Structure 1
Amino acid sequence: MIASVKNEERKTIFDGMKPHVELMAAGLSGGLILIGWYLLNQEVDTAAAVIFVSAFVIGGYAKAKQGIEDTLATKKLNVELLMILAAVGSALIGYWMEGAILIFIFGLSGALETYTMNKSHREISSLMDLQPEEATRIKGEEEEVVPVGSLSIGDLLLIRPGERIPADGKIVKGQTNIDESSISGESIPVQKSKGDEVFASTVNLRGIVTVEMIRSSDETLFHKIIELVQSAQSEKSPSQQFIERFEGPYVRTVLIVVGLMMFVPHYAFGWSWNETWYRAMVLLVVASPCALVASVTPATLSAISNGARNGILFKGGVHLENIGRIKVIAFDKTGTLTKGKPEVTDVYVRDGITKDYLLSHVAEIERYSNHPLAGAVVSYATEQLQETALCRVEGMEDIAGFGVRGTFSGVEWKVGKAEFVGKEEAEAFHGEIMKRLSDEGKTVIFARDGEGIAGLIALKDVVREEALEAIRTLQEEGIKTVMLTGDHERTAAAIARESGIDRYTAHCLPESKAEAIRKLQEEFGMVAMVGDGINDAPALATATVGISMGEGSDVALETADVVLMKNHLPLIAQTVKLSTRMNRIVKQNIFFSITVIMLLIASNFFQVVTLPLGVVFHEGSTILVILNGLRLLKN
């Protein structure tokens, strides 16, 4: 058992070191090429040959091994084998350094790609950390702690304050407030009472409740999130599919033509065997896709470096490539377009009292509540009152699901819902203002003293200031914006109006967010998703490009393809512009490199190009496309 664990640990360590080893091998190969070049200039040919062979082995081992293994596994030829054969062919006709350079460039690009793309997908394990391993089950008059996996539909579960709910169920006793942000993304807790449904992984904030389990552990809403992430991430990107389709035919075509070139010209055109073999080797060298590979990799890595310098982290070149082709960007609301926590936006008081008078009493009562709205009220009051001392409350009582009450000098104050302070009076208090606040999607709490309704305080998860700039810039670029939120219709509409979003979808649970992304893809093609919460993970994984805010949850960060490390929404527009610029340079490089390769191939058939000239043009085109790609390092 111990030996097995140690072997697993060694395997994990080796897998983690693999991309670094490939990169170091490519770097060492490049260093050996420089040494070999120096020795050639010093006319130490034998030593130079040994050095170049070492560069071949060190730089090409990983790609040769990968190419052979893939060929054996898929029964298809690949570009890795073609590059190795091109390098060997170059060496066979005496051009050791050129062959080593081919190996170095291809090995370096592969190592950098592995290093960039080989990210551990920890989102599943992060999600599972939110799923409780044990639950308190009620059997008769007794309570027992059991593994969640042993629970069955119909079991009664006891959920205490602060505990995560272990399974989807229905409350049969008690009332409480539930933090459902892991499911809906809504930052404001939801009041739950007898008959209401609760979801696995959400947090019980206040009261003790008894829940009847209504779904098995593999059918919970939370489990569906995990399945959606796994399913979406297993789908191959269009670029991957194109490369797979292109690779086999290209390699087969080149190898077939080179094979024919080794015999046909001797019999068809009377070439000597030396000339035939020479031309076949030249063809193998000039037809190698070295410049094509360099057309993409340096440009991509330069753009990735540029983005990283500006706080934009790409998890691979394919995502950087795709984002420039995006037609629609969907945004999560809570924590992305908005700040993710409620803030006081409006305060109205009864005639005859002041705002400071109301805030000093309400804040003193709310100080003793752990409700998120209470914290927002206290913070606002502390900032507004400054030097004004709070009143002293007596006999404070927290009424779960309704509000709080306390006594000031014998006068009872109530703070909470309209039903708690007196529904008719509350609804009559500033009636027109109440309607406006409701239309704006704001949450309202009332305060009542001995004389009636003393005032109201409105709170809202406010839109980030930079969100307006980001939305406007994207729309100027011709990109449509969509908001996906778990909020109700009125709140969603208010946030959409305020932020300038083109359209929105309300009442979005995780699976419906992912479905909304799929519908947008059917309508527009490539779609990006911007989110920061666990509930956004399925949509982030389903989208063509998932973009996470740097301050988001670990799951969102790991699932996303692009991370905005500075948590600054206008970076999205900068990301789109960078991608568009990179795609333009890549197209230039590809067109140029293909043109050069075709000209060299044609010249070789007409016996115009010599091997040294072919190498000069071939390697020269490679250098030019690399330099063109490096322009992306500049902003």
Structure 2
Amino acid sequence: MLKEMDLHLAANSSRLDQWRATIKKHGEMIAALLGGVLTLAGYVVSEITDTNVWYIYLVAYLIGGYYQISTGIKDTIKNRELNVELLMGLAAIGAACISHWLEGAVLIFIFALSGALETYSMAKSSRAISSLMDLQPETARLIINNQEQQIAVGQLQPGDVIHVKPGERIPADSRIILGETTIDESSMTGESVPVLKKIDDLIMAGTVNIDGNLHAEVTRKNEDSMFSKIIELVQTAQTEKAPSQLFIERFEKIYVKIVIALTVLMLFLPHYLFGWSWSDTIYRAMVMLVVASPCALVASTMPAVLSAVANGARKGILIKGGVHLEQLAGLKALAFDKTGTLTRGKPEVDWALNVSGFADREFYAAVAAIENNASHPLGEALVAYSQKVTKASPLESENVKVKPGFGVSGEVDGRLYTIGKAELFDEKTMQQFMNTYERELPRNHTLVYVAVDQKMAGAFALKDQIRDSSVAAIKTLHQYGIQTIMLTGDNEKTARAIQQETGVSAYIANCLPENKVQAIKQLAEKYGAVGMVGDGINDTPALAQSSVGIAMGGGNDAALATADIILMKNDLQRIADAVRLSKRMNRIIKMNMAFALSMIAFLMAVNLLQFISMPLGVIGHEGSTILVILNGLRMLRG
């Protein structure tokens, strides 16, 4: 019996908690609708009985206006500044004082309903951003001594081995050590096409393992993961205000005082100037208080800004606040670091020459055997090229010796291979080789030479390849009137060749990392607002110096921390998308502000001409507020 009573009490307690949660979540809307029902009831009763039911309207005032008016009073006391909510409360009280209870109740209802809809709209755009937080699992399968155990994601440490099953989200930034799969990275990069991942490939927390069983080694703590950094950026974006919003907030404080002053004048002047009755004069003053309030103006920016930030996040464009997105639209020039930004950052063999007398398969395999023991990026490119040509693993090599800055040597099948810069070889032998093959050697490339048993045997021309997205992105930016400038440490000749290939407007050659900040300052003097796009730690000072710093998502952590906008996928076309998003957001904000001010002017004019009643004034005023909110929420669409 006691057990049944406990279960019954627990069930009632659970229902009570659910009811409280519902009231807390939807209380503002419930109060507004209840106020509307009471207003309607008061109107029906007064029409049927032909009596003054002011007490019903008073209850409608108290319930319907509770959230908005109490918020206005608290903010006024806290900030010592008048606000829109207080103006509406004063207008309703004024209407009641001249026995226009119905109009006052309608004002409260529509104002409260508009406020509840605005709260809902703002919450919707905030949820669109914050939904990222639901993408990370709370637990992970930790493997210890071939046994699995569930632990909280926050307890994972670098070096831990985790098991990720098909269909599950990756719980931590990690490296695959067993298995292969396709990963859905759309939540992080905005790229809808799944990516094939194999052993030694890195996988990110929050992405989805589609079809493979994986064992992966954790590479970062939960708080240091890219996912956690994204959440931090999201929270920053929600609190940081755009310049247009800050301007409106400053303007609102002054404007509200002006409205109060005009209302005080309206309480007296029309009676003496136009011979209006005191009742009409006070009524018109209350209508003016309603229609002149800047609700629509105040709501013209924030929904649009939050929606734009959410839209960008879905496309893999992380924006640290509306201020940066708004500034992006005003850029006149954009500077690009070359390596890793305009280019892929990894040299590739563009051309090869084999005059060794050996078959290509044998020659390239021997070169790869030597370079496989070195760690230089050029050597990695030669190994990759050899594997592509021979489609076989490198041969065994012996006595490999690295000469830092120059090259490497070693033996394969008893023959001595020397691979490296021209300075590594005998000057006379090198000169004869150059004279023979000068016309064949590509220009604007990095050249690596090969000798077999001290005799020149071939050469490789390597080049850092231009990203596929660079040319299209540069072209789009030019269409937006943005000049593009490449910053590179290459010489004038090489820089000019890359300019022709990418289509950038200009370049600054021989630009060492320590000179990038000075280059940004010079560009700012010439163009005004200048942005910077980079990915390396040496780009961070320039990113900080620029009007808007944009970092490539695959770049260094310091660059990601310094930048204002982060491209989660290394795709420069996302920069053009961000500019388009920024310009569209600014256009919607300007449209909202123009509409709000025009509507206020129109309603004030028709009120002075006595063409509008308080309910119609309220509908016009609050309707315009809802319209600018909905217009701002258009930014949520793709």
Q: Structure 1, residues 232-252: CA drift from partner, whole Å, max 9, x if none?
A: xxx998647755764554344
1:620 deviates by 1.8
Amino acid at match of 1:346: W
- TM superposition shift of 1:503: 0.4
Whether 2:375 is the aligned partner of 1:375: answer: no
After superposition, give the CA deviation of every residue in 1:567-611 in whole Å (9 maximum; x if it has no partner).
Answer: 322232233333333333333332222111011122333333222
Deviations 1:454-473 (A, max 9, x none): 21222222111121121122
Deviations 1:266-318 (A, max 9, x none): 55555555544433332232122211233333333444444333333333334
Local SS of the residue matching 1:548 = strand
Match of 1:505 in 2: 508
Shift in CA distance, 630/362, structure 1 to aligned 2, threshold 3 Å: same
SS at match of 1:425: helix
- Name the SS for the 1:391 alignment partner: coil
Query: Structure 1 residue aligned with 2:570, among 553, 567, 570?
Result: 567
Spell out, residue by residue over 1:320-369, the C-alpha distance to the aligned partner (whole angstroms, 9 max, x if none).
Answer: 33333433222221221111222222212225334333321111111111
Question: Pick from 92, 95, 100: which aligns with 2:112?
Answer: 100
| Counterpart in the other structure of 1:544 | 547
TM-score by length of 2: 0.66
Match of 1:365 among 365, 370, 377: 370
Instruction: Give, as a single letter, the amino acid of the residue that structure 1 aligns with 2:419.
Output: V
Match of 2:390 in 1: 385
2:84–2:256 contact (8 Å) kept in structure 1: no
Q: Note if contact 2:366-2:395 (Cα within 8 Å) is conserved in structure 1.
A: yes
Q: In structure 2, what residue type is equivalent to 1:406?
A: G
Per-residue CA deviation, residues 159-192 of structure 1 (Å, 9 max, x unaligned), is xxxxxxxxxxxxxxxxxxxxxxxxxxxxxxxxxx
TM-superposition CA deviations, 1:195-238 (whole Å, max 9, x none): xxxxxxxxxxxxxxxxxxxxxxxxxxxxxxxxxxxxxxxx9986
Cα distance in 2, alignment partners of residues 485 and 456 from structure 1: 26
Assess if the C-alpha contact under 8 Å between 1:415 and 1:421 holds in 2: no
Conserved? CA contact 1:26–1:58, under 8 Å: no
Partners in 2 of 1:319 and 1:246 — Cα distance?
21
Aligned pair partner of 2:558 in 549, 555, 567? 555
Residues 90, 99 of structure 1: 8 Å contact kept: no
Kept in 1: contact 2:328–2:548 (CA 8 A):
yes
Counterpart in the other structure of 1:407: 411
Letter paired with 1:411: R
- Which residues in structure 2 correspond to 1:199-598 (within 5 Å)? 239=244, 242-243=247-248, 246-247=251-252, 249-266=254-271, 268-269=273-274, 271=276, 274-350=279-355, 352-387=357-392, 390-431=394-435, 439-440=443-444, 442-509=445-512, 512-598=515-601
1:607 to 593, 606, 610: 610
* Cα deviation digits, residues 95-154 of structure 1 (max 9, x gap): 322443465567678889999999xxxxxxxxxxxxxxxxxxxxxxxxxxxxxxxxxxxx
Contact persistence 2:369–2:412 (CA under 8 A): no
2:70 & 2:439 partners in 1: Cα distance? 73
Q: Percent identity?
A: 46
Identify if the C-alpha distance between structure 1 residues 337 and 324 changes in structure 2 by more than 3 Å, giving closer, same or farther. same
Letter in 2 for 1:606: L
Match of 1:183 in 2: none
Task: Give the SS at the match of 1:295.
Answer: coil
The two structures have a TM-score, normalised by structure 1, of: 0.66
Distance 1:432 1:503 in 2: 36
Q: Is the 8 A contact 2:343 2:466 kept in 1?
A: yes
Return the alpha-carbon distance in structure 2 between the equivalents of residues 332 and 529 of structure 1. 8
Tell me if structure 1 keeps the 8 A contact 2:125–2:636: no
Aligned mates of 2:263, 2:436 — CA distance in 1:
83
Q: 1:242 to 1:56 in 2, by over 3 A?
A: closer
C-alpha distance in 1 between matches for 2:124 and 2:538: 32
Aligned letter for 2:369? E
Q: Partner residue of 2:88?
A: 87
Distance 2:629 2:437 in 1: 63
SS in 1 for 2:83: helix
Does the CA contact (< 8 Å) of 2:287 and 2:607 recur in 1?
yes
SS of 2:326 mapped into structure 1? helix
> Structure 1 residues 35, 365: closer, same or farther in 2, change over 3 A?
farther
Q: 1:87 touches 1:102 (CA, 8 Å); kept in 2?
A: no
Question: 8 Å contact 1:25–1:59 — kept in the other structure?
Answer: no
Q: Structure 1 residues 283, 454: closer, same or farther in 2, change over 3 A?
A: same
Relative to structure 1, the CA distance from residue 421 to residue 391 in structure 2 (aligned partners, 3 Å threshold; closer, same or farther) is farther
For 1:101 and 1:587, how far apart are their aligned partners in 2?
Answer: 25
Which residue identity does 2:379 align to in structure 1?
A: A
CA distance in 2, matches of 1:564, 1:625: 30
Structure 1 partner of 2:141: none
Asked if the contact 1:358–1:455 (Cα under 8 Å) also holds between the matched residues in 2, the reply is no
Question: How far apart in 1 are the matches of 2:403 and 2:514?
Answer: 34
Unaligned runs of 5+ in 2: 1-22, 43-55, 96-103, 131-239
**Secondary structure, aligned partner of 2:532:** strand
Instruction: Report the CA distance shift for 1:39/1:509 in structure 2 as closer, same or farther (over 3 A).
Output: farther
Q: What's the CA shift for 1:58? A: 7.4
The residue matched to 1:429 in structure 2 has which SS? helix
Distance 1:32 1:588 in 2: 32
2:415 & 2:350 partners in 1: Cα distance?
A: 27
One-letter amino acid of the structure 1 residue matched with residue 83 of structure 2? L
RMSD of the alignment, in Å? Answer: 3.7
Q: How does 1:71-220 map to 2 (within 5 A)?
A: 81-92=82-93, 93=95, 94=104, 95-101=107-113, 103-104=115-116
Rg (Cα) greater in structure: 2
Deviations 1:491-534 (CA, angstroms, capped at 9, x unpaired):
43332222111101134455643333333333333333222233
* Aligned mates of 2:436, 2:629 — CA distance in 1: 65
- Whether the 8 Å contact between 1:26 and 1:111 is mirrored in structure 2 is no
Gaps of 5+ in 1: 1-23, 72-76, 119-234
